[in-house]
Structure 1
Amino acid sequence: MQLDGILFFPITPFDSGGAVNDELLAHHVDQGLARGANAVFAACGTGEFHALDAAEHRQVVGTAVAAAGGRAPVLAGVGGPLPHAVACARAAADVGADGLLLLPPYLVTAPETGLIAYVREVAAATGLPLVVYQRDNVRFTPQGAAELAQLPTVKGFKDGLGDIELMQRIVPAVRAALGGEEGGPAKEFAFFNGLPTAEVSAAAYAAVGAGLYSSAVFCFLPEVAVAFCEALASGEDNLVQRLLSGFYLPLAQLRNEVPGYAVSLVKAGVRLRGLDVGGVRPPLVDPGPEHLARLERLIAAGLDIVEG
């Protein structure tokens, strides 16, 4: 399972009664693939994994797999309490997912040995490739990350801490453990930038070997997300800087004003672009009128840059 380019993290639409809207989700996934997404990460952070019960998680992942129809790999978010993470992993395998993104266990702060044991148990639940997500209460040393990378099904490491120095140590440690310093790694292994509004830090992460990133903006503004990804890859620094200063940095500033806006603004952006996907579930909150107006102006500014 090779991943590159745009990684699509679809939102989870809810209908007027608050239930998962399969039809809109399938349309959202299909639309993203038509716009150039190279992989779909269903029921992850942007897809409100934290707010889905086990049946809904299975429903969301199954709908994404069916909508993708083999055009791109579909990875499912799993995590939380260990029994729930294992159950979600098995359900994702049952409905045809191609891989898993392992989110943090719920609330607890644990030593690295316990976190490694948590990953081992989820990884052992299926034969699916698994990406470990380091963020919040999950933090690995270079030695711990290297140990995880040697598990047969662990195929990637995603960072949401924003500690570039730590990633500068983790990447070579993992590569060395996999034989990367002696004629190439023993298996495919990918490093991801998992920060909110990841385009802001994409160049810094690419410099330490983590060139893949989550593009939440792609959910509602694929024109801008694709233009940025292509400009970064081709060295069009002028366009990269214009998009950062005129769109991404102001979006990140708005995102930081309210906890949870890394998800809420994305879902609001999808609504502003014409899909009635409903609001977010508590404890997240939807943006109010003032913030919606700012988001609408930012969308227009982003489109002006890429269309101009």
Structure 2
Amino acid sequence: MTADTHRKAVVERLREGMARGVLSFPLTGFHRDGSLDLDGFRTHVAAQIATDPGAVFPACGTGEFFSLDEDEYRKVVTATVEEAAGRVPVVAGIGYGWAQAARFARIAEEAGADALLVLPHYLVAAPQEGLVAQVEQIAVRTRLPLIVYQRGQVTFSAESLRHVARIPGVIGLKDGHSDLDRLQRLTLAAPEGFLFFNGAATAEIQARAYATVGVPAYSSAVHAFAPEIADAFFAAHQRGDDAQMNQLLRDFYIPFVELRDRRPGYAVSLVKAAARLRGHPVGPVRAPLTDPSPADLADLETLLTAGLALVPTSSAPAPASASASVGAAL
């Protein structure tokens, strides 16, 4: 299959998946000593794939890409591809400077990933022409389609996105800035068929707002620990059920965001703690992240129980006690 044929097939599969469900960003499992728990990861990612998400994105921000070495990265992406077995597209994260990103891209391609998510480059701010050049340098070094992620120090202008969208292999943009004025300009500047993704933290909070500027697809961190809640919100969003969305936002998502905002790094470590409460063997976070405090963990457990109760068809058991579940999972 040529690179162009593969790109078109991936775009179509992603488009179909985005209409079907949320995008899953699985958590990378670690043992208590910080070593990779590949068996635990396989169990977790298999459970994620079983819920039929629109696509699965291993080794991205929620999967602690920034803490993985190349060998661990290869194992994580390979395990995801094997567990997916072609049922859903696998989009692996790559990042840092273009030279290192190209190394990760090569590993992901060898592992069988379908596409790549280009995470924001490391540390430095850069002008628009540099942001475009970064994508160009990566694109010429891989046959896999690229989705660029604007977040942190990466923000594309409409003119820059026109250039990026013309780079062979670039198929879409994920936005984490939540600047809807700028995002509307980008969607209008992009060519027909270019994919856009809502990548805001706890994206459900802004799902309706993003949809108004033509970006209905979104990633869901909640899906990593409570796919029942995430899928209930997605279904309500699809059918325009404002009452159901408002209830989930008011009684679960907004309190979850308020809990998440208590401490830097909780966007990942709180999600991982919630997954442990559900019995997922994902283990602790790696430094520089830290696991939630006992008090925050107790609040998380209460909120998770309340959130699951909002899903009428959920048959999932309430989480076990925080101390017992987290201690066992670590």
Quick check: TM above 0.5? yes
SS in 2 for 1:212: coil
Match of 1:151 among 152, 164, 167: 167
SS in 1 for 2:72: helix
Structure 1: which 4+ aligned runs deviate by more than 2 Å? none
Aligned partners of 2:160 and 2:132: how far apart in 1?
Answer: 7
Q: Percent identity at matched positions?
A: 49
Aligned to 2:325: none
TM superposition shift of 1:96: 0.2
- Aligned CA-pair RMSD: 1.1
Q: TM-score, normalised by structure 1?
A: 0.94
TM superposition shift of 1:101: 0.3
SS in 2 for 1:275: coil
2:34 paired with 1:18: yes
Aligned to 2:176: 160
Match of 1:275 among 258, 277, 280: 280
Aligned to 1:82: 98
Structure 2 counterpart of 1:52, which letter?
L
Aligned to 1:220: 225
Match of 1:68 among 59, 84, 107: 84
Preserved CA contact (<8 Å) 2:31 2:284: no
Preserved CA contact (<8 Å) 1:231 1:237: yes
Match of 1:247 among 237, 245, 252: 252
Preserved CA contact (<8 Å) 2:125 2:153: yes
Structure 2 counterpart of 1:9, which letter?
F
2:275 paired with 1:259: no
Aligned partners of 2:71 and 2:139: how far apart in 1?
Answer: 21
Aligned partners of 1:95 and 1:33: how far apart in 2?
Answer: 18
Match of 2:213 among 208, 212, 217: 208
Please, which moves more after superposition, 20-29 or 139-148?
Answer: 20-29
Superposed, 1:2-41 pairs within 5 Å as 2-3=13-14, 4=18, 5-41=21-57
Deviations 1:248-297 (Å, cap 9, x if unpaired)? 00111111111111111111011010123211111111101111111111
Aligned to 2:108: 92
Aligned partners of 1:69 and 1:168: how far apart in 2?
Answer: 36
Aligned to 1:194: 199
2:149 paired with 1:133: yes
Could you tell me which runs of 5 or more consecutive residues in structure 1 were left unpaired when the two chains were aligned: 179-184
Aligned to 2:312: 307
Aligned partners of 2:64 and 2:95: how far apart in 1?
Answer: 12
